[in-house]
Chains A and B, each alone.
Chain A
Amino acid sequence: MLAKVMDVTEARSIYQTDYLRLKKERSGQRNAWTHKIRDEAMACFAKLGFPTNKDEEWRFTNVNPIATHPFEPPQYDIKGLTADAVQRAGLGTLAAGAVVFVNGWFSPELSFLRGIEQEVKVGSLAVALNEGWEWIEAHLARYASYRDHAFVALNTAMMQDGASVYIPPGRLVKEPIHLLFISTPAKKAAVSHPRNIIFIGRGSQATIVENYVGLEKGNYFTNAVTEIVVGENAVLDHYKLQRESEEAFHVATLQARLGRNGNFSSQSISLGGALVRNDVNVVLDGEGSECALNGLYLVSGVQHVDNHTRIDHVRPHGTSRQLYKGVLDGKSSAVFNGKIYVHKGAGKTDARQTNKNLLLSLDARIDTKPQLEIYNNDVKCTHGSTIGQLDQDAVFYLRSRGIGERSARSLLTYAFASDLIGLIRVDSMRAQLDKLLAARLQKDS
């Protein structure tokens, strides 16, 4: 007999029930403003429902496995989570400290901040909300749109914890701030809605790593939203590493707003997960602001990874660069959808977008869709995408020197993907990811 499969309406009613439970728990607490936003977001989710393939933004990604699963609320459980396991999850780059979350909940036991919190405010969003920081009220849920994105709406309604990072103006934070989200699969699959808010003050510079890791096999659902404000003349290097369990679902939206001469770079590296969707949306909302969005997705088996980017050039003299590369093996599939939207007032925009895909198997599938919408005549915009197989001449060349066919193929695949790893400016993380990539390609080939 087949296990009971829920229909979408039934699954949605579970979120409604959970929501009402959370609302009850919250009643009487401070932060009335978030209650209002949550109610609005929940109403939006009820209206939107989960997207289907009829929705243009979800044409190639079927979220039915998520929409029909009755996920449990997440449990905080750090049994068996050793310091060693945490370091491994953090790719050995946690020297400067890390804000650690377990199944979506801030872990005071596992987090350690080597004095960094003295100069900047880094920690749990739940705690920060409770303390009533003004800057959070000014920015939380002001950028990521819950009105037209069902998963953002769901996150906004259900959010309980996540990271809050506040860098005051004029600070140079040298060590990367590591936000580590560890999932430990439970008997019954759970959903967490990590909500992160990052503010980089005027003229400040920081590096933030947002790292999602599944430590064991098993199904669960991570539905994350990260809002980033890069102030005037501020610089943020953001790294998003996604290494969820191979059975997990991961949907994440990163929404960044850049002020005048703000500089934002995003590296999104997606290695894990069964069904993954990453949205990276950047609004260049200040004159002369600049962003670089890079991504690497490695999929095999029956994995599906969907990367959507949207860059809104709103003001003049904005620059954007995008390079996304994919390596697909087995029966995996991937989507790249990159939209560059140049608004009327964004003269002298310079935008470039490239998507390159390497298909290692005949059964793998990539749908790539670059989109330009330009409402200003004085701009420079280019985009291009390629889909190819390994160069057989190169494979033969390596084999003719004694290198085995499997090694030759993995060496060439590594060569294709490694330039994106090379863009990582955190030395220790680059070295670790480089190793991880090489090992992964050895395994796949």
Chain B
Amino acid sequence: MLEIKNLHAKVADSEILRGINLTIRAGEVHAVMGPNGSGKSTLAHVLSGRENYEVTAGEVLYEGKKLLEMTPEVRAREGIFLAFQYPIEIPGVNTTYFLKAALNAVRKHRGFKELDAIEFLALVKERMKIVEMDQGLLNRPINEGFSGGEKKRNEIFQMAVLEPKLAILDETDSGLDIDALRIVANGVNALRSKERAMIVITHYQRLLDYIIPDYVHVLFDGRIVKSGDKKLALELEERGYAWIEEQVQKNQPVNL
């Protein structure tokens, strides 16, 4: 589904991604871990098409198509979804209106009939249950006055409505208390399927107790320096990132 080859990217003259290689197939959940500043969020933003990042080398193929040549909205319509680390508040834009416009843009692109107001509301009511969202939030402007947990739930709710093929969760766990974390993780798990791939970016192993990944990658200094299965996450939890840093600096292959 997704092939990232030798991806280099910089922001304001400093190179953040320095040769990422990663292949993701449908149905797989990949966790990307790493210390602060390792390039995790940059990877998420480059994949979703944020403009402040400049790709200097490499390519990304999504279902065989050149992803980096697509605008952010086309990527979304093609099935890529980014759950933001910091979902923003947009005063004056009603959540229902926004989500209906988004869903119908996606459906139109994929050749499906656009939903009318009644069909849309039926869908939304069903999907709200996945993250235990309060229906009142739908009538509020996007994220306005939402708590941190509500904002993250809203991201997963939007994902449930838009039904992406590839979801990128950018530190969806950070700042959540354990109850909110459980709700968000349950939502994500409910959306796991054979057709859907996920990239779960996180700083902490804790999230991976709830969302069990098929693969774990360690991002360090703009490169994936280590890949493994869920045991790697536990290892990182126990030993921290320092030992990886040491080995990278000694220019040694990273061994457990």
Contacts and interface: CB of A to CB of B under 8 A. Distances in A.
Contacts of A412: 90, 92-93
A20 interface: no
Interface stretch (A62-70, A400-408, A428-436): A400-408
Contact of A415 (B51, B91, B106): B91
Contacts of B48: 400
Interface in A388-404: 391-394, 396-404
Given A407-B101, A415-B93, A400 B76 contact: yes
Contacts of A403: 73, 98, 101-102, 105
Given A411-B98, A411-B101, A402 B77 contact: yes
Given A396-B50, A400-B76, A405 B71 contact: yes
A411 B105 CA distance: 14
Contacts of A393: 88
Given A400-B49, A402-B162, A416 B76 contact: no
Interface string A402-445: 11110110011011101100000000000000000000000000
A415 B97 CA distance: 12
A173 B245 CA distance: 78
Interface string B78-98: 000110100110111100001
Given A399-B71, A399-B72, A404-B105, A416 B98 contact: no
Interface centre among A393, A400, A415 (most CB of B within 10 A): A400
B84 A397 contact: yes
B93 A401 contact: no
Q: For chain A, which range describes its interface: under 10, 10 to 19, 20 to 34, or 35 or more residues?
A: 20 to 34
Given A401-B98, A402-B76, A419 B92 contact: yes
Contacts of A414: 92
B29 to A, nearest CB: 21
B90 A402 contact: no
B65 interface: no
Interface in B17-76: 48-51, 71-73, 75-76
Nearest to A397: B88
A401 B162 contact: yes
B73 A402 contact: yes
Contacts of B129: none
B157 to A, nearest CB: 12
B92 A401 contact: no
A174 B112 CA distance: 48
Contacts of B101: 403, 407, 411
B231 interface: no
A402 B109 CA distance: 9
A303 B81 CA distance: 40
Contacts of A411: 93, 98, 101
Contact of B73 (A394, A405, A416, A419): A405
B205 interface: no
Contact of A416 (B51, B82, B84, B92): B92
Contacts of B87: 397
A402 B75 CA distance: 8
Contacts of B102: 398, 401-403
Interface centre among A391, A403, A411 (most CB of B within 10 A): A403
A428 to B, nearest CB: 21
Nearest to A411: B93
Contact of B92 (A396, A402, A407, A415): A415
A397 B90 contact: yes
A405 B72 CA distance: 9
A414 B98 CA distance: 12
Contacts of B71: 399, 405
Contacts of B50: 396
Interface centre among B48, B75, B76, B141 (most CB of A within 10 A): B76
Interface string B94-116: 00001101110110010000000
A419 B109 CA distance: 32
A411 B73 CA distance: 15
Nearest to A414: B92
Interface in B121-159: 141-142, 158
Nearest to A418: B92
Contacts of B51: 392, 396
A399 B74 CA distance: 8
B98 A399 contact: no
B138 to A, nearest CB: 15
Contacts of A404: 73, 105
B76 A401 contact: yes
B197 to A, nearest CB: 17
A399 B70 CA distance: 12
Contacts of B105: 402-404, 407
B88 A394 contact: yes
A399 B75 CA distance: 9
Given A400-B72, A400-B81, A415-B92, 15 more contacts: A396-B50, A397-B84, A397-B88, A398-B90, A399-B71, A400-B82, A401-B98, A401-B162, A402-B77, A402-B105, A403-B101, A404-B73, A407-B101, A407-B105, A415-B141
Interface of A: 391-394, 396-405, 407-408, 411-412, 414-416, 418-419
8 contacts: A399-B76, A400-B81, A402-B73, A403-B73, A403-B101, A405-B71, A412-B90, A415-B141
Interface of B: 48-51, 71-73, 75-77, 81-82, 84, 87-88, 90-93, 98-99, 101-103, 105-106, 109, 141-142, 158, 162
Among all A-B residue pairs, the 9 with the closest Cβ atoms: A415-B92, A402-B76, A401-B102, A399-B72, A402-B105, A402-B106, A399-B73, A415-B93, A402-B102
